Structure 1
Amino acid sequence: MGNSSKLSLALVGLILGGSLVGCSDGRAGAQDAAKQLASAVAALDVAAVPFEGKDSGAANEQLKEVFKALDPAKPSVVTGELKLDKDTATIPLDYSWKIGTGEWKYTTFAQLKKSGDKWLTVWNPASLVPELADGEVLGTMSQSPARADILGAGDAKLVTYRPVVNVGIDKPRLGTADPAASATRLAQLVGADPAAYSQQVAAAGAEAFVPAITLRQDGQSITDDQIAAIPGARAIADSLPLAPTRTFARALLGTVAEANAEQIEKSGGALKAGDTTGTGGLQQQYDAQLRGTDGIQVFAEKAGLSAEERQGLLNGGRRGLFQVEITPGTALKTTLDPALQQLAEDVLGKVAPASAIVALRPSSGAVLAAASGPGSNGYDTAMLGQYAPGSIFKIVDSLAMIRNGITPDSIVECPATLSVDGRTFKNAEGYPAASLGSVTLRDAFAHSCNTAFINARDTVSQAQQESAATSLGVAVEAPGLGAGAFLGSVPGTAEGTEHAASMIGQGKVLMSPLSAAIMAGSVAKGAPVSPQLVLNPNAGDDATRAAGATAEPTATSAGPASSAPAPAKASGTPVTAAEAALLSDMMRAVVTSGHAGFLASVPGAPVGAKTGTAEFGKDDPPKTHAWIVAVHGDLAVAVFVEDGGLGATTSGPLLKEFLTAAG
């Protein structure tokens, strides 16, 4: 091909290219402008968007005012197919908002106009919300459902709405009275801090009612006349989700109150100011299930309405745009027996240190009572406590020994003292001399001979001990529990004095009162007990702890708890009915011939028990935790007192009182 031909082709290409450029309809520029608009609206900031007929700053202020009621929500905005007509273009904008539990979707249209080489957006409020006019903004109204109840055995209402009175100063009723004087008098009457309450009253608006305290309506000692005698003071009737008493299962159930700023911030939009929410225990864990979801309305209304004008529009004058239906909460069903729970709390009412009683039904695993005494100061000792179990752990040792061929009638050696790697072990104070020397395993168990069980350390490995513990449901996951709990921890490896200590429930062995009751219950059932407490956990709940999860190690007054390993998925080799029968025989001997003879008078089915005294700390003599576990028909109970001395003398009488009254 000659040079002239190459030149002709080049010219054709140039002409064609020039034609394409010349025929450009500006679609690319319009699309870029549309995308900029969509992105800016999604960010709720159009200050950088050039508008036709509207200052960008003014447009931005109006947009923020329109959507202010939806704060902090922001929309997703996606552009649709652009339609071009010379120097104008129309673009669909597909909006999607997350409003409560609902999704509000709609489509608007924006118009663009070309001005010189720029595309400008024609300002129109209807591009933000369909048919929105100038001078209109969005408004919202939400309605919260009543909180659902927490139920116990037989659907007894453990937590339900109960009448209360909000006592406070109603500032419009003060008249000429001194607000500070009235606030001080009311605070003194109800036991509030006078200085702090006076400040609250002073800071509140002129129309405010400033609550000082909320009191249960039944049983309150403050009279209407006492309140009425204080200028501006008033009692307003209300109702709140409450347990039967202020202390009833409080650590386990948790409480309900108005959400604080921290809870609102952490909720990810689920909570807002004025909402009630659960704090601690099951109320917090199952908050979403119990709370339900708000009903929300979004509407268009005239901008700048006063509170009175807005109130007047409640029955009309607003254009509805979107609605999320109210969803009631679902009652939480538990196995707690209100009578046994109250009995356990009454029994512990006079105990000064941290304490607990856990009672469960071995046949089903149902937790009937999980009480933490007043000395626990609000901590859930019953479910979450982590303590050395002491001699109640000899139930585990005995199972391991039985599996090695020992029987309750086998002879074991019980010396007064025993030395292991330079550490001296001895029996508890007052150990009977008649049960020293060569005795049956039953006798050593009944009188809790430490040295006899430590003597078995060479025939019972730490791994066998761990296996025996899981066989009895200790340190095993509890998928049906539905509540945060410490399920026990038994190390699989330990040497020397640590292994010797674990033979008497010390060293690194840890149990909670719950896991102690599980252990005793597994003996009564003849199979591992898997506890259950919550019967209908909502799988979609925002529970902070999964059902049966092990709680984080928690410090107690006995010192910080060690970090315990996670529980086993399932029992290694489940205890058999034959093995359990031998253990039951020895637990009965604790009552018939051992140092829990005081339980022989408990009416009904024969009681089997095991006491435990666990040393802790570095005092000389060391302080001790007091334990006792028992089985009584289809009931297994663990009683624990922190720093309580001897299990038999401290926890034993509490157990007797509980079993006798439980019937």
Structure 2
Amino acid sequence: MGIKQKLSAVAVALVLGASLVSCDDGRGEAEAAAQEFASALSRLDVGSVAFDGKDAAAANEQVKAVFAALEPQKPAVEAGELTLDGDKAAAPMNFTWAFGDAEWKYASTVNFRKSGDGWLAVWDPGTLAPGLSDNEILTKGTQTPPRADILGAGDAPLVTYRPVVNVGIDKPRLGAADPAASATKLAALVGVDPGDYAKQVEAAGPEAFVPAITLREDGRTVTDQQIAAIQGARAIPDSIPLAPTRTFARAVLGTVGEASAEEIEASEGALTAGDVIGKGGLQQRYDEQLRGTDAVVIRAQRADLTREEIESAGTDPRRVLFEVEPTPGKPLKTTLDPALQTLAETTLEKVAPASAIVALRPSTGAVLAAASGPGSNGYNTAMLGQYAPGSIFKIVDSLAMFRNGLTPDSKVQCTPTLTVDGRRFKNAEGYPEGSLGSVTLRDAFAHSCNTAFIAARDAVSQAQLESAATALGVAVDAPALGADAFLGSVPGEAAGTEHAASMIGQGRVLLSPLAAAVMAGSVAKGAPVSPQLVISSDGGTGAGATSPAASSAPSAGEPVTAKEAALLADMMRAVVTSGHAGFLAEVPGKPVGAKTGTAEFGDENPPKTHAWIVAVQGDLAVAVFVEDGGLGATTSGPLLKQFLTAAG
């Protein structure tokens, strides 16, 4: 290599060396420090950050104290573009807090100082929140708007704010009285567990009001005088969202109450202690609509500022950093008729087993009543029950038979018994001998001849049964309902004894009382009924909810026609004029058509039975169900007669 070449190589090396030195100016390490600091702020844990001017542990304690009132929320913090000036650097910290649908965004700046091979974050409380000084913390205030009403037919208020009294022990009022003694007396007066309540009172702080029970003001029998006679006891007036009575459509509407610790944790910051939310039914499903959004205010204040100082100050000493106005909830409109719902519940009030009455308007599908009796123990038997329908399913059988060419006047064979693959089927006890032998399909339907319908199994396939069921609005989705429900399940394939059982509404055939009312209503309408319970605020239908088996629900078969429905209505009328439901002939008003049903279940001998009856009268379809009820005609029938007569 020549001298000139050596000099050129040296020059290139010097240039490259200078370039490498200029690139290694510490920016990479400073940016890494900024990213680490942003990540630590997002966790609200800066214990691992190296600070200039503050011990890391002390800084971490201060960060936790500053943001303690905002728990469990945490911010999302992103570091912005770093500015480097020798051994100093600065980077913006972009904060985003989420409070429900609202976002609080702000930016601060953190300074860094190079120390040896690393970078130290310069401690400044102003980095945490706008203008925050060293002795300040943040506080969070919320205000919940009134919960919106649930409305019924004609916008009648079903759930609305009603006056109550919160009864409990106000410990500052105890004086020298023994807390446990006062608590025990009050518990006995209002009917709560004395031992548990006494423990709650003793465990509460000296300034606490310990609630024992909330009583409706309307109709309460425990008086203010009785409460005041107990040292420390107090009744505090309030109002909360309530239905007309404690039981009114409870399984359908749900209730409201304070969010539990588990619900708060699952909400990921959307709920805090003391929040009132919907629990079960429509209250839970439409909680967001009914609850609206809380007002939120974030303030900065001295850490040692007391409530008394705030209240006595002429001007609020706190600084507002962020504020969101409340958004009122929107009323939820339903089709429930208060009078019919109350009537249905009254009709069932003395029925011990699980039971239900569902009434709907066939012309529109509006669900007017969906009552579950006391024996249902709070379960929504009316809409979610899954039971073998028994002979009310012969409405479906008959439609399938019409589609195979039969009419109500066609002759069928009604025998005392019928054996299929070794299984013996028979008619109900007391079946009239005069309706045995060669009878019309109408007569077999009116007296519910099991053997006549099972005998048709070779002419009516299981697939045809499924198609006829869906044609009547059963075992399909309910896009207009707006609530969880089970609308039935009818297998498309079955053979032998299982197919025979399907012909009398047993085997794997299942309906809910709502589905039974839909089936009967489709006969009255002359087209499939699509049930509706919830009406959206814009006048349309609520979001559809379907049964647990909805994902496997078949597409609806060819809809029942007006002509087919007229034939079915003719046979349902015969049930009243010449069959099992003659007692309904006395019901005033338009003629009633009906179908009774009894379905065996369980392993007992003799087996227990579900008792069913469905009926149509004008623009009203009703299903009555008793889980362990003997015969449909003798158990559910009188309940139906009582309901229809009173509904008038």
Normalised by the length of structure 1, the TM-score is 0.95
Tell me which residue corresponds to 1:548.
Answer: 545
Q: Would the aligned equivalents of 1:187 and 1:194 in 2 still touch at CA under 8 Å?
A: yes
Is 2:616 the partner of 1:617?
A: no
Deviations 1:468-520 (A, max 9, x none): 00000000100110111111000000010000000000000000000000000
The answer for unaligned runs of 5 or more in structure 1 is 552-563
Q: Would the aligned equivalents of 2:475 and 2:554 in 1 still touch at CA under 8 Å?
A: no
Q: Would the aligned equivalents of 1:528 and 1:571 in 2 still touch at CA under 8 Å?
A: no
Query: Alpha carbons of 1:429 and 1:4: their partners in 2 closer, same or farther (altered >3 Å)?
Result: farther
**Which has the higher mean CA deviation after the structures are superposed, 438-447 or 48-57?**
48-57
Tell me which residue corresponds to 2:19.
Answer: 20
The answer for unaligned runs of 5 or more in structure 2 is none
Query: Alpha carbons of 1:473 and 1:347: their partners in 2 closer, same or farther (altered >3 Å)?
Result: same
- Give the alignment partner of residue 601 of structure 1, picking from 586, 589, 592: 586
Residue 42 of structure 2 aligns with an amino acid whose one-letter code is: A
Q: What is the number of residues matched between the two proteins?
A: 645
CA distance in 2, matches of 1:154, 1:493: 44
CA distance in 2, matches of 1:359, 1:414: 33
Tell me which residue corresponds to 2:10.
Answer: 11
CA distance in 2, matches of 1:155, 1:569: 35
How far did 1:537 drift? 7.5
Q: Would the aligned equivalents of 1:167 and 1:233 in 2 still touch at CA under 8 Å?
A: yes
Q: Report SS of the residue matched to 1:474.
A: coil
Tell me which residue corresponds to 1:365.
Answer: 365
CA distance in 1, matches of 2:484, 2:343: 23
Tell me which residue corresponds to 1:642.
Answer: 627
Q: Would the aligned equivalents of 2:310 and 2:316 in 1 still touch at CA under 8 Å?
A: no
Q: Would the aligned equivalents of 2:184 and 2:195 in 1 still touch at CA under 8 Å?
A: yes
Q: Report SS of the residue matched to 2:418.
A: strand
Is 2:204 the partner of 1:204?
A: yes
Tell me which residue corresponds to 2:270.
Answer: 270
Deviations 1:80-138 (A, max 9, x none): 22222232222211111112321111111111222333322211111111211111111
Q: Report SS of the residue matched to 1:618.
A: coil
CA distance in 2, matches of 1:156, 1:149: 10
Q: Would the aligned equivalents of 2:69 and 2:138 in 1 still touch at CA under 8 Å?
A: yes
Tell me which residue corresponds to 2:519.
Answer: 519
Q: Would the aligned equivalents of 1:297 and 1:322 in 2 still touch at CA under 8 Å?
A: yes
Q: Would the aligned equivalents of 1:489 and 1:567 in 2 still touch at CA under 8 Å?
A: no
Is 2:127 the partner of 1:127?
A: yes
How far did 1:62 drift? 1.2
Query: Alpha carbons of 1:313 and 1:266: their partners in 2 closer, same or farther (altered >3 Å)?
Result: farther
Q: Would the aligned equivalents of 1:489 and 1:565 in 2 still touch at CA under 8 Å?
A: no
Is 2:77 the partner of 1:80?
A: no
- Counting only pairs closer than 5 Å after superposition, residues 28-67 of structure 1 correspond to structure 2 as 28-67=28-67
Q: Would the aligned equivalents of 1:608 and 1:631 in 2 still touch at CA under 8 Å?
A: yes
Tell me which residue corresponds to 1:96.
Answer: 96
Deviations 1:128-176 (A, max 9, x none): 1121111111111000111111000000000001001111111111111
CA distance in 2, matches of 1:396, 1:327: 49
How far did 1:17 drift? 2.3
How far did 1:315 drift? 5.8
**Which has the higher mean CA deviation after the structures are superposed, 221-230 or 415-424?**
221-230
- Counting only pairs closer than 5 Å after superposition, residues 69-468 of structure 1 correspond to structure 2 as 69-312=69-312, 316-468=316-468
**Which has the higher mean CA deviation after the structures are superposed, 362-371 or 172-181?**
172-181
Residue 282 of structure 1 aligns with an amino acid whose one-letter code is: L
How far did 1:313 drift? 6.3
Deviations 1:43-101 (A, max 9, x none): 21222222222212211111111111211222122222222223222221111111232
CA distance in 2, matches of 1:130, 1:6: 61
Normalised by the length of structure 2, the TM-score is 0.97
Q: Report SS of the residue matched to 2:95.
A: strand
Q: Report SS of the residue matched to 1:308.
A: helix
Q: Report SS of the residue matched to 2:534.
A: coil
Q: Share of identical aligned residues, percent?
A: 70
Residue 274 of structure 1 aligns with an amino acid whose one-letter code is: G
Deviations 1:193-227 (A, max 9, x none): 11100000000010111111111011111112211
Deviations 1:1-27 (A, max 9, x none): x46566444423321122123334432
Q: Would the aligned equivalents of 1:148 and 1:329 in 2 still touch at CA under 8 Å?
A: yes
Tell me which residue corresponds to 1:576.
Answer: 561
Q: Report SS of the residue matched to 1:192.
A: coil
Deviations 1:268-299 (A, max 9, x none): 22221111111111111111111111110011
How far did 1:354 drift? 0.7
**Which has the higher mean CA deviation after the structures are superposed, 73-82 or 415-424?**
73-82
CA distance in 2, matches of 1:291, 1:528: 35
CA distance in 2, matches of 1:628, 1:300: 66
The alignment yields a C-alpha RMSD, in angstroms, of 1.7
Deviations 1:607-633 (A, max 9, x none): 000000111112222111100000000
Residue 125 of structure 1 aligns with an amino acid whose one-letter code is: P
